[in-house]
Amino acid sequence: MTIEVDLAAPLRIADLRAAREPITVLAGPEVRERVTAGRAFLAKVLGDDRAVYGATTGFGALVGYAGRADQRDQADNTLAHLGAGHGPDLDPGLARATMLLRAHSLARGASGVSPHVVDALAAALGTTFAPAMPRLGSVGASGDLIPLGAAAQALRGRGNAYVYGDRLPAAEALDRAGLAPLPLDGRDALALVNGTSLTTAATALALDRIRTSHRIIQLLTCVLADLLGCDPQFLDASLLDSYGHAGAIAVGATMRAFLAGATPSGTRPLQEPYSIRCTPQLLGAAEDALRYVDGVVAADLASVSDNPLFFAGADKVVHGGNFFGQPAAFAADVLTMVLAQLGNLAERQLDLLVDPVRNGGLPPMLAAGPGRQHGLQGVQLASTALIAEIRRDAMPASIQSLPTNLHNQDIIPLGTQAALRALDQSHLLSLITGSLALGLRQAVHVGARIPSATTCARLVAALSDAIPAIDPDRPLQADVRRAAQVAESHVATA
């Protein structure tokens, strides 16, 4: 069944996920009324000979010069110079999420955009069409100019686009999707590019993935503790209440529910290593940080990111900086820090699990026949490489400001780079959690006890049903990914 998204309603992260496939985008009477009113007000303003950035002027540092007199030519004036992106194309699913966000912002009616622009975005999202958008070129300061410029050009039939996963010249892609090239004037073109829709989409999707991994690691930690027979007192409610941090208290409650029914073996040390004992504090701090990002993303999903904005009721055209993606830049850098520490934790837990000195006497590397077989040895090596990759790229992007555009953009947030990096690395994090989940499945095969907590036992059973034991050795890349999928499916209902 096709998902429906109403542009008059608040936008959700789930809508961005759904936009990977064709969706029905509704632009009903409320949307049409306010977009039409905004467009009529723009016509009045231009008729009064008021200065309007991008409609009567050049762009960026060239704002002091007149633009082209013909508004259709002004669209070319807007978009041609932005054809300067580099690198690989963004994932088409992300490009489509970006289109949905742009449509939602324009549908607020404050951009002075033509109603047919919103209609065209909605129509494109009803097909498999996705603009080919370059990864490199946005500093996120005047919005995501260069990648959004490529999207606008693709909607006009210029550049390239994807249909049914095939990369084609944009004119051919439009034709195959049953879409007509989108006519634009100068204000329409600028409204399509002068916002942070790519940055917001990438940040929101990264948050969604990292929140899932965060919950998975809570469950995997409980399975690890149960397999080893750990005393769950590190999750004691009185202990965490005295700690005083809301995230730790919430995470502790979730983990106690996961471990309900667990019986300690009585053979473990009084105090476990920090990768078990301090998990409610670590994962709780991550929860607090993710709640901050929740708020930023919620605001950005509802935001009008454009310049200028048109307020017909107050007879105002306001020039400002709502395209400046600093909130998402900070939020995406926070996500990178969170996912790096989550990855650190999962990698250290896997290291503990394969070490016979600390895993309660299970075979080294969880090998069914050490020496003749090697169990998780390759998987652990790959996990170490993955966390090193994440950590190497963890330098915040939001502090790397440098001036550009003849010092018009003399301070920049670089939120696009921060957001894309967080989204990329969220995929690496899922491979690390999949590696840990695979290790937990193998641990039972080589002698670990079946978990005594019902929720933990269910996950181990699901992993065992989906993935054969490593006996004898075999390539494990696909099993790591499968374990990650099983854990994700299981945690959604746990």
Q: What is the pLDDT of residues 211-259, one digit of tens each?
A: 999 999 999 999 999 999 999 999 999 999 999 999 999 999 999 999 9
Q: 196-206, pLDDT tens digit by residue?
A: 999 999 999 99
Tell me the Ramachandran region of residue 292: left when phi exceeds 0, alpha when psi lies from -120 to 50, beta otherwise: alpha
Mean pLDDT within 446-474: 97
Give me the sheet containing 160-163, strands edge to edge.
130-131, 160-163, 166-169
Kind of pairing between the strands at 24-26 and 4-6: parallel
Q: What does residue 318 show for φ and ψ, rounded to 5 degrees? A: -115, 120
Q: Is the pLDDT assigned to residue 181 strictly greater than 90? A: yes
Report the alpha-carbon distance of residue 234 to residue 237 in Å, rounded. Answer: 9
Rg of the chain over all Cα atoms, to the nearest angstrom: 26
pLDDT of residue 58: 75
Window from 91-95, 134-138, 435-439 with minimum mean pLDDT: 134-138
Among residues of the chain, what percentage have pLDDT more than 70?
A: 99
pLDDT of residue 73: 73
Distances in whole angstroms, Cα of residue 36 to Cα of each of 55, 173, 300, 391, 430: 18, 29, 24, 49, 45
Q: 302-356, pLDDT tens digit by residue?
A: 999 999 999 999 999 999 989 989 999 999 999 999 999 999 999 999 999 999 9
How many secondary structure helices (H) and strands (E) does the chain include?
18, 9
Report the alpha-carbon distance of residue 388 to residue 10 in Å, rounded. Answer: 38
Max intra-chain CA distance, the chain: 85
CA-CA-CA-CA torsion for 70, 183, 87, 410, nearest 10 degrees?
40
Mean pLDDT within 471-487: 97
Q: Is the pLDDT assigned to residue 406 strictly greater than 90? A: no
Q: What is the DSSP string of 223-281?
A: HHHHHHT--GGGG-HHHHHHH--HHHHHHHHHHHHHTTT----S-S-SS--HHHHTHHH
Report the alpha-carbon distance of residue 49 to residue 20 in Å, rounded. Answer: 43
Q: Which of 389, 331, 347 is nearest to 196 (CA)?
A: 331
pLDDT of residue 448: 96
Q: Is the pLDDT assigned to residue 48 strictly greater than 70? A: yes
Q: What is the DSSP string of 444-464?
A: HHTTPPPPSSHHHHHHHHHHH
**Whole-number mean pLDDT of the chain?**
94
Mean pLDDT within 133-148: 91
pLDDT of residue 414: 82
53 is catalytic: yes
Instruction: Show Cβ contacts of residue 47 under 8 Å, excluding neighbours closer than 6 positions.
Output: none
The model's pTM:
0.96
Q: Which of 187, 181, 189, 209 is nearest to 145 (CA)?
A: 189
Mean pLDDT within 129-138: 95
Mean pLDDT within 381-404: 91
Q: Is the pLDDT assigned to residue 409 strictly greater than 90? A: no
Q: What is the DSSP string of 19-33?
A: TTS--EEE--HHHHH
Mean pLDDT within 160-173: 98
Q: Structural domain boundaries of the chain? A: 4-194, 202-493
Fold of 202-493: Fumarase C; Chain A, domain 2 (1.20.200)
For 453, other C-beta atoms within 10 Å of its C-beta total 21
Among residues of the chain, what percentage have pLDDT more than 90?
A: 83
Say whether 202-493 and 4-194 share the same fold.
no
Provide CATH code, domain 4-194: 1.10.275.10
Mean pLDDT within 17-23: 97
Q: 51-100, pLDDT tens digit by residue?
A: 888 787 877 767 777 877 767 777 787 898 898 999 999 999 999 999 99
Distances in whole angstroms, Cα of residue 157 to Cα of each of 82, 128, 136, 169, 210: 16, 15, 21, 8, 36
Burial group, residue 422, by CB count within 10 angstroms (0-12, 13-18, 19+) = buried
CB-CB contact of 20 with 96 (8 Å): yes
Tokens at 129, concatenated: 């069409």
Instruction: Show Cβ contacts of residue 315 under 8 Å, excluding neighbours closer than 6 positions.
Output: none
Window from 1-5, 30-34, 424-428 with minimum mean pLDDT: 1-5
pLDDT band at 189 (very low <50, low <70, confident <90, very high): very high
Q: What is the DSSP string of 265-330?
A: -S-S-SS--HHHHTHHHHHHHHHHHHHHHHHHHHHHHT----SSEEEGGGTEEE---TT--HHHHH
Report the alpha-carbon distance of residue 366 to residue 447 in Å, rounded. Answer: 9
Q: Is the pLDDT assigned to residue 494 strictly greater than 80? A: no
Amino acid type, 318: V
Report the alpha-carbon distance of residue 487 to residue 81 in Å, rounded. Answer: 47
pLDDT of residue 23: 98
For 180, other C-beta atoms within 10 Å of its C-beta total 12
Q: 264-282, pLDDT tens digit by residue?
A: 999 998 999 999 999 999 9
